[in-house]
Structure 1
């Protein structure tokens, strides 16, 4: 029982134990059917005076009596799931134990692993006490690695116990971080320190010009060669001026109200399929941009459109970056679109990354509001590449309508001055380079 894929799994050894289930036993349908057929045969033999029906009823009745008399005393079932560790290739080792009290011949297991439908297995009590799994997880964020439920099976499968409460092994899977070489900046850099060259004069930046010495200029900035060349009268000095360095304010806005996979047929499926979903792409984009901007000493903030309580204002520092990354990792889909009463407030002059599938109008309206307020807005399309092989003709027509509505929203954002970035596109680096050119600021 193993599922192979790659995932980055942090965290220590985890263990979850579920208490025992009910104390009752249910009679097997086979034993119940044998008793009913035996009773019918006995009545028919008495009414029709047929001795052969008695011969048919006798073994069935004996089987029902033996099954009834073999009822175990206890039906308590306990399960325990332990995450043993992570393999170098990304698989997760899981150790599971299922125990059933009383005189049982087998244990019925219901196993639900990540990216799969529930599976049933019947094993002996000895095998149930030493189960080993190697599970691969293809999604990021909070999720259940495995759920295990068990119930006892009596002698000859005549009785089945009540299922105990399932044991759950959960993990918060870190999204993979991609290297971002080009960083889009706001139209104006308002910070006083940082790693970007601003337009105002100051210390730490590139050469700006040569000007006359004024009160407040430092003596070490005197350019003696320029003074000898440009001075018109005694005592006139010239200094070399440079541009000041500044930092940028960045707000990452993640639309976690829905989570759709690349296979369109799985948009309404009850179980997740293998492969990246839109929320996986959004988490990857958020942690990649946050790490890149934090490395450039910029201020990074985070906001979740589905939960206003998880907003983090833009700040700098390693501790704040850890809070932002943790907030991104804990983002989960809410399954329903909720309207925000008002747009979240942003830092002055911040560049806003709106990471959404743009399957509805809310993310577009907020982006237009921020753009109208003078912020530079980058709309990050996190919808993964879609597969329509399993769709019938009617659903493909519906998908064309959805695509047309998404295209109209994106065109409206472009018309308002927002810029588009497709994170799952192979041209992502080229798009970032175009957005990071000085002429594209705002």
Structure 2
């Protein structure tokens, strides 16, 4: 809903005086000079001014800003409803987005009402301020004027927009009796396990007549094709919402981040949404947990509706009060893969990632800290960042030595428009030449190769 300002009465514009003065002047000149054609030129101006004055609107023009439920992820969306009384013809509207982007339009009030959709691309996600709408209404012939009137809508909730990814590291321990993946237990599937004699519980549809004719010419024994069953993988997304920092180092701890650049939490939402969409498109299940809040997590599920539920949960993730450390890792389903999205600015998330890894889970840590800019930073702030940078590098190295994959989620930052120039983050704890999709794909291939090597060595014994 919207919060309209107090109504402003209609006022007379200079068009009334200009039209009346022009009409009277032309009539007078035509009468003095005896020129009927000149006198007739003043008649339209007088009629226009008189018509606008006699059709003066009695009520103000109102504007309401409503949420747009059809707005796609990553987009600021709202519906602007304009309603004017009889006599109100045109409205000049200026819409200001939360990031400061402005758009102006002149609209004609057809039948006294008009609905307009407002959308803008947003580098930020989650809860954002509302649109601000400024309008100026005009009556018939522009003689009457109403405004300016300022209206604001309800706060917006911008869902993260998933990106396309390739293969993802997953756990070899599958769950369920059906799914897109082939398990190691017998069941109904497409991958052949073996050919055996027909026994109790076997279906007649599984009879292999060629194998039966080859092994039992007298048909005294039937042979069936037994397959491996299918199952599904479970992926748990763990978002560390305790930190929400931007690229500008001077805004850490105090000051608001830039609206045209994503923060670390925006990158975490985007990365988690991309992983969730890839996993759900493959037919697996996804769960969501937040390290910043002690609340009931989003339970594992699948399908398009569950993706919307996960995106909504990611958009609601935000820092609440002082960051709290969890002594014990949250419980996750057995055999699931855990993706941790964190800035790695403290030991909380890496410690929990090592606990999950030691428990036998496949763990992938996604580093969501944006490239840090040292522009306008004081020397003491620069020294503090260098210390924090070295600590981050040590945490990344420790995780990789423990067998945990660490991937940097690199954002696409728009160009700066404020003229600031300064060095960016000098540390290189990751290989930034690889994009996140390629890095995750290589991690998945590496785990699959190691899994095949282990299976081969076990069978050789």
Q: TM-score range by the shorter chain?
A: 0.5 to 0.7
TM-score normalized by the length of structure 2: 0.62
Distance in 1 (alpha carbons) for counterparts of 2:336 and 2:387: 34
Q: CA deviation at 1:279?
A: 0.7
Q: Is contact 2:342-2:368 (8 Å) kept?
A: yes
Structure 1 vs Structure 2 CA RMSD: 4.0
Contact in 1 for aligned 2:339/2:363 (Cα 8 Å) = yes
Cα gap change, 1:93/1:189 in structure 2, threshold over 3 Å: closer, same or farther?
closer
Structure-2 residue corresponding to 1:245: 230
- Range with greater deviation from structure 2 (205-214 or 344-353): 205-214
Aligned to 1:290: 276
* Cα deviation, residue 416, structure 1: 2.4
Query: Which secondary structure state, in structure 2, belongs to the residue aligned with residue 198 of structure 1?
Result: strand
Cα-to-partner distance string for 1:198-254 (whole Å, 9 max, x where unaligned): 122221232333333332222222222223334487523332222211101111110
Task: Indicate how the Cα distance of structure 1 residues 347 and 228 shifts in structure 2: closer, same or farther if over 3 A, else same.
Answer: same
Query: Residue in 1 aligned with 2:98?
Result: 114
Shift of 1:310: 4.2
CA displacement 1:350-392 (0-9 Å, x = unmatched): 1111111111111112112211221111111111233334434
| 1:357-436 equivalences in 2 (<5 Å) | 357-424=343-410, 426-436=434-444
Partner of 2:290: 304
Unpaired runs of 5+ residues, structure 1, are 1-14, 21-78, 98-110, 118-131, 150-164
Partner SS, residue 417 of structure 1? coil
Count of matched residue positions in the alignment of Structure 1 and Structure 2: 334
Range 254-263 or range 423-432, more displaced: 423-432
Give me the whole-angstrom Cα distance separating, in 1, the residues matched to 2:275 and 2:76. Answer: 27
Equivalent residue of 1:279, what SS?
A: helix
Structure 2: gaps of 5 or more residues: 7-61, 83-94, 102-115, 135-149, 411-431, 455-461
SS in 2 for 1:258: coil
Inter-CA distance 209–292: structure 2 relative to 1 (3 Å threshold): same
Q: What is the CA distance between 1:393 and its match in structure 2?
A: 4.4
Contact 1:142-1:331 within 8 A present in 2 as well: no
TM-score, normalized by length of structure 1?
0.65
| 3-state SS, counterpart of residue 323 of structure 1 | helix
1:436 offset after TM fit, Å?
Answer: 2.6
Cα gap change, 1:199 to 1:16, in 2 (>3 Å): same
The structure-2 alpha-carbon separation of the partners of 1:276 and 1:430, relative to structure 1 and needing over 3 Å to count, comes to: same
- Residue 65 of structure 2 is matched in structure 1 by 82
| Equivalent pair of 2:292/2:318 in contact (CA under 8 Å) | no
**2:343 pairs with 1:343:** no
